[in-house]
């Protein structure tokens, strides 16, 4: 596992460099940061991005790159991340910095940067000079005349690696007062297309399902009940970025449509559709509502079968408000760090429901 390829590790190393400065003498205490503060600094806010970040940091811990401190009495929640003293040289090597970083730092300080990149002289971004220079060359070009294209296409064009900008976009390079993907690099996150199956009739409503198995069962059920004009496979709506493709589905259907969602009953499962709803409304699409019958079935069928949710984010009562009249029933489960998989509402149950 290479931390230089992980967004949350990028931010951790940048903060480590800023704290350590150019010092050569060894430090006496390990560098550490609050997990929540680290996520905020890295601009990791979406539920799926947080899950990815937690998976990455736990992988780094397993490989000895970092040590994790957990919340007291809640061992599944991360409190702080530490870089052990004996691992600091390993981090320097991974990010391409020797112990004495004067040469690289001097290149960055001496270069005549585009005004949008002048902040790099003092920002300690943990990015090599060569990548910053590649971005600088693009900025020096007449970028305003360039169309906005998918981020992977621009990444390949500017950095020679189609995945590199996806990694850098969560780093300090793209904080709100620094670079902007659309304005400066003329690119956008496109998200993955949404798979969907048309219903027997245009009922005026569509249903988005989070997971593939449940999507299959609801498609079979919809063929019998004619409840939805379309059943959409959301894959978590890809942290809201794929929501833009809802417009293509709506255009294929007749008349106005309401959009409902059914996913796992856990914190990410509640946050993802609410983020997607905000994104949809900004695009002029219908807001995304909870499919209350499905969530009611899930609460009834899974009442005695909840499992621990392994994330580190603390739940808030308002996270459940999207469930409307089911919010009070769902909150004890969510606040206790438990979850219900939507697969509890499966085909064997659905096929027995009234048509």
The residue among 282 and 93 whose pLDDT is bigger is 282
Model confidence pLDDT, tens digit, residues 189-214: 877 788 899 999 899 999 999 888 99
Pick the residue with more confidence: 156 or 46? 156
Pairing of strands 187-188, 149-150: parallel
Question: Residue 99: pLDDT above 50?
Answer: no
For residues 336 and 343, is the Cβ–Cβ distance under 8 A?
Answer: no
- φ, ψ at 10 (rounded to 5°): -55, -50
Sign for the CA dihedral angle at 44, 274, 238, 335 comes to positive
Q: What is the pLDDT of residue 347?
A: 94
| Average pLDDT value for residue range 66-89 | 87
Q: Dihedral through CA 120, CA 122, CA 124, CA 129, nearest 10?
A: 40
Residue 164: the pLDDT is 86
**Which pLDDT score is estimated for 97?**
65
Average pLDDT over residues 176-189: 90
d(CA 56, CA 115): 34
The pLDDT of residue 115 = 93
Report the candidate in 180, 183, 137 with the shortest Cα–Cα distance to residue 158.
137
Q: Which H or E element spans position 106?
A: helix 102-110
Distance spanning both ends of the chain, measured CA to CA? 51
Tell me which residue has tokens 């460099």.
Answer: 17
List the domain boundaries for the chain.
1-100, 128-190, 195-350
Helix boundaries (H) for the chain? 7-20, 35-41, 47-62, 88-94, 102-110, 120-123, 129-140, 151-159, 164-168, 181-185, 212-225, 246-252, 267-282, 292-301, 327-335, 347-350
Residue 206 parent element (H or E): strand 205-209
Instruction: Reply yes or no on whether the pLDDT at 136 is more than 90.
Output: yes
In this prediction, residue 21 carries a pLDDT of: 62
Instruction: Read off the pLDDT of residues 290-338 as tens digits, 9 standing for 90 and up.
Output: 999 999 999 999 888 998 887 667 788 999 999 999 999 999 999 998 9
Report residue 81: phi and psi, to 5°: -120, 130
In the prediction, which pLDDT does 236 show? 65
Nearest CA among 161, 154, 162 for reference residue 182: 154
Distance separating alpha carbons of residues 169 and 128, to the nearest angstrom: 16
Beta strand 31-34 pairing with 74-83: antiparallel
> To the nearest whole percent, how much of the chain has pLDDT over 70?
91
Higher pLDDT: 72 or 159? It is 159
Confidence (pLDDT) at 303: 84
pTM for this one? 0.65
29 falls in which pLDDT band (50, 70, 90)? confident
The whole-angstrom distance between residue 39's C-alpha and the CA centroid of its chain comes to 11
Mean pLDDT across the chain: 86
Fold observed for domain 1-100 = Arc Repressor Mutant, subunit A (1.10.10)
In the predicted model, is pLDDT for residue 47 greater than 50?
Answer: yes
pLDDT of residue 116: 92
CA-CA-CA-CA dihedral for 130, 135, 138, 144, to nearest 10: -170
pLDDT digits (tens, 9 = 90+) for 252-302: 998 899 999 999 999 889 988 998 899 899 989 999 999 999 999 999 998
């Amino acid at each position: 596992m290479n931390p230089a390829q992980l967004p949350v590790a990028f931010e951790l190393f940048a903060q480590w460099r800023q704290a350590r400065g150019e010092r050569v003498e060894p430090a006496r205490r390990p560098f550490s940061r609050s997990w929540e503060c680290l996520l905020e600094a890295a601009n990791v806010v979406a539920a799926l991005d947080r899950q990815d970040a937690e998976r990455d940091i736990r992988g780094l811990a397993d490989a000895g790159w970092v040590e994790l401190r957990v919340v007291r009495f809640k061992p599944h929640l991360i409190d702080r991340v530490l870089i052990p003293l004996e691992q600091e040289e390993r981090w320097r090597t991974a990010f391409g910095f020797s112990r004495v970083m004067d040469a690289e730092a001097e290149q960055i300080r001496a270069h005549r940067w585009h005004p949008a990149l002048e902040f790099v002289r003092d920002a300690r971004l943990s990015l090599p000079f060569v990548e910053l220079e590649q971005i600088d060359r693009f900025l020096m070009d007449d970028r305003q005349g360039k169309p906005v294209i998918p981020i992977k296409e621009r990444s390949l064009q500017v950095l020679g690696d189609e995945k590199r900008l996806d990694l850098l976009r969560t780093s300090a390079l793209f904080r709100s007062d620094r670079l902007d993907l659309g304005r400066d690099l003329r690119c956008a996150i496109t998200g993955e297309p949404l798979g969907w199956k048309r219903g027997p009739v245009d009922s005026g409503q569509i249903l988005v399902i989070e997971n593939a198995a449940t999507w299959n069962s609801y498609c079979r059920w919809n063929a019998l009940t004619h409840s939805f004009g379309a059943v959409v496979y959301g894959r978590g709506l890809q942290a809201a970025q794929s929501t833009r493709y809802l417009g293509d589905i709506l255009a294929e259907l007749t008349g106005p449509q309401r959009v409902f969602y059914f996913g796992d009953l856990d914190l990410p499962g509640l946050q993802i559709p609410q983020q997607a709803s905000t994104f949809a409304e900004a695009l002029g699409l219908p807001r995304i509502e909870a499919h209350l019958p499905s969530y009611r079935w899930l609460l009834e069928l899974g009442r005695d079968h909840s499992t621990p949710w392994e994330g580190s984010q603390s739940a808030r009562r308002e996270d459940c408000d999207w469930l409307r009249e089911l919010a009070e029933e769902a909150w004890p489960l969510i606040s206790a760090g438990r979850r219900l998989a939507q697969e509890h509402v499966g085909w064997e149950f659905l096929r027995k429901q009234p048509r």
